[in-house]
Amino acid sequence: MASSTVRFDSVKYLPRLAEFMSQEIERHLKEVEDLRTLSASHFEILTFLLRKEKTNMSLIAKAIHRKKSTVTVLVNKLEDLGLIRKYSSDEDKRETNLELTERGRAVRVVAKRISSSIMSLKLWGLNPKESEQLFYLLEKTYTYLRDTKKL
């Protein structure tokens, strides 16, 4: 059984890894003229929309684990940059739907390059089996904490 010191040492790496990922994404974004002012959270929204085409603010908030008010601020910037379009849902006028503009869809090439770089096992120093183990353990921990309302 792992000692409390080992558990503490393991947990302290989580925010450091998240910070590293954000910095790495933002480093790549700064290399692209039109995307220099975007954050890793903006990138999450763009890549979500690249996969889903059209969606609403609530689904994005859930997918990227942010409050709807935070997503609103992020989305407003993406709209100001002409990357996404907001419109009212036909089913529920209170709900705001989103879709990528043509300019937003053009980000696909850059997004794939950034995602490939970030998700590269070489960057992480893991072999495929270790990568699967890491994903399994992180997902298990997150799901447990979420389902027991500790998140």
Query: In the predicted model, what is the mean pLDDT of residues 10-22?
Result: 86
| Residue 1 predicted with pLDDT over 60 | no
Same domain for 125 and 105?
Answer: no
Please tell me the total count of domains within the chain.
2
Same domain for 20 and 76?
Answer: yes
Q: pLDDT class for 136, splitting at 50, 70, 90? A: very high
Query: In the predicted model, what is the mean pLDDT of residues 2-18?
Result: 76
Beta strand segments in 12-135, E: 54-56, 84-88, 96-100
What pLDDT is recorded for position 104?
A: 93
pLDDT tens, 88-114?
888 888 888 999 999 999 999 999 999
CB atoms within 10 A of CB 40: 19
Tokens of 73: 């601020």
Query: In the predicted model, what is the mean pLDDT of residues 7-29?
Result: 86
Same domain for 125 and 104?
Answer: no
Domain residues for the domain of 149 are 121-151
Q: What percent of the chain has pLDDT over 90?
A: 46
What pLDDT is recorded for position 89?
A: 80
Determine the angle formed by the axes of helices 4-11 and 13-30, rounding to 10 degrees.
Answer: 10
Same domain for 80 and 91?
Answer: yes
The Cα 3–Cα 25 span in angstroms is 34
pLDDT tens, 27-86?
999 999 889 999 999 999 999 999 987 889 999 999 998 999 999 999 999 999 999 999
- 47 neighbors 111 (Cβ within 8 angstroms): yes
Same domain for 79 and 135?
Answer: no
Query: Which amino acid type is present at position 90?
Result: D
Q: How far apart, in Å, are the Cα atoms of 140 and each of 77, 94, 111?
A: 34, 35, 27
- 50 neighbors 106 (Cβ within 8 angstroms): no
What pLDDT is recorded for position 126?
A: 84
Same domain for 57 and 101?
Answer: yes
Q: pLDDT class for 121, splitting at 50, 70, 90? A: low
The Cα 137–Cα 133 span in angstroms is 6
What pLDDT is recorded for position 19?
A: 92
Same domain for 53 and 89?
Answer: yes
Torsion angle in degrees (nearest 10) through CA of 116, 119, 43, 21:
-140
* CA 22 to mean position of chain CA atoms: 9
CB atoms within 10 A of CB 79: 15
